[in-house]
Amino acid sequence: MSQNILVTGGAGYLGSTMVPELLAAGHKVTVLDSFMYGQNSLAHVCHNPNFSVVRGDVRQESVLLPLLAKADIIIPLAALVGAPICARDPVGATTINHDAILMMLKHVSQHQRILMPTTNSAYGSGDKDNFCTEESPLNPISKYAIDKVEIERALMQHPNFISFRLATVFGMSPRMRIDLLVNDFTYRAVHDRFVVLFEGTFKRNYIHVRDVSRVFLHAIAHFDSMKGQIYNFGLSDANVSKQELCQRIQKYVPEFVYIDAPVGKDPDQRNYIVSNAKIEATGFKQAHSLDFGIQELIKGYTMIRNTRYGNV
């Protein structure tokens, strides 16, 4: 059944992969985006009559509310994503990641459906045995994670929500980001042949950008049975440390060398193992492995050799 879907920030890293998939599934999609990075990442879907695009700021009620009123489903992707950019622009982070979402929640009806990406960085840092399920205590460290936790709590008051606590996303996208960890390390392997690790034993979970699109489509198709729930979303076989990630990359770039720094700390202190059993119990199966993504990125980086594709 075709739905009217509003995707804020739909020209970004996640959205520029997700929007074409939503259209291919027969939905009508409106994207609201400020195009702050000067991207044309949705040029390839402009031919589709079910695609509409609005250049505007998600923080402006006069822009958002008319679009919100027409939507059956809202997917709020507009955000300053990641700890570094939020630290650099805390005002922008607060107004986009926090205030604009609260404003949106104030105006949505009880019948509209909201599919929200949050973050499993909300689990913070723990010891090597820190195994996290959706019921685990939250310990957000960065401003990005703190704002996402507060938004998720507000979202839980809406009767028709699903929250996905995304693992660190990787893979090629029309609006590329090379500052995400797998993307970054693979870029360094291809172009620099080395990386210096801070706290290389710290673990986190990972997920391919195309699987993010797939799980949102899965949630739309199974909304009634999934609504009102929070789901961790990552690869169950990709709870790996930075050292282990580098070893995976070395399989495909043998010249790549990684060095553990004897001093210094990673500003992003995440260290945890995440369970994805709950989303898998809904019948969803991830399709893109960490190794697949590394090989894809190596091909992509033959075309990319600059830093304008990151958020920082």
Q: Is 241 within the bounds of a domain? A: no
Q: Is 306 within the bounds of a domain? A: no
Determine the pLDDT at residue 171.
98
Q: Is 37 within the bounds of a domain? A: yes
Following DSSP, what letter does each residue of 184-200 receive, concatenated?
A: HHHHHHHHTSEEEESST
Stated pTM of the model = 0.95
Q: Is 181 within the bounds of a domain? A: no
Instruction: Indicate the number of domains in the chain.
Output: 1
Q: Is 192 within the bounds of a domain? A: no
Q: Is 193 within the bounds of a domain? A: no
Mean pLDDT by 10 residues, the chain (312 residues): 96 98 98 95 98 98 97 97 91 96 97 96 75 92 92 96 98 96 97 94 95 98 98 97 98 97 76 95 98 98 77 61
Domain that holds residue 134: 4-172+206-236+275-288
Determine the pLDDT at residue 100.
97
Question: Quick one: tokens of 60?
Answer: 């402006």
Q: Calculate the dihedral angle through the C-alpha atoms of 200, 201, 204, 209, rounding to the nearest 10 degrees.
A: 40
Q: Is 127 within the bounds of a domain? A: yes
CATH number where 117 lies: 3.40.50.720
Determine the pLDDT at residue 128.
55
Q: How many residues in total does the chain contain?
A: 312
Q: Is 136 within the bounds of a domain? A: yes
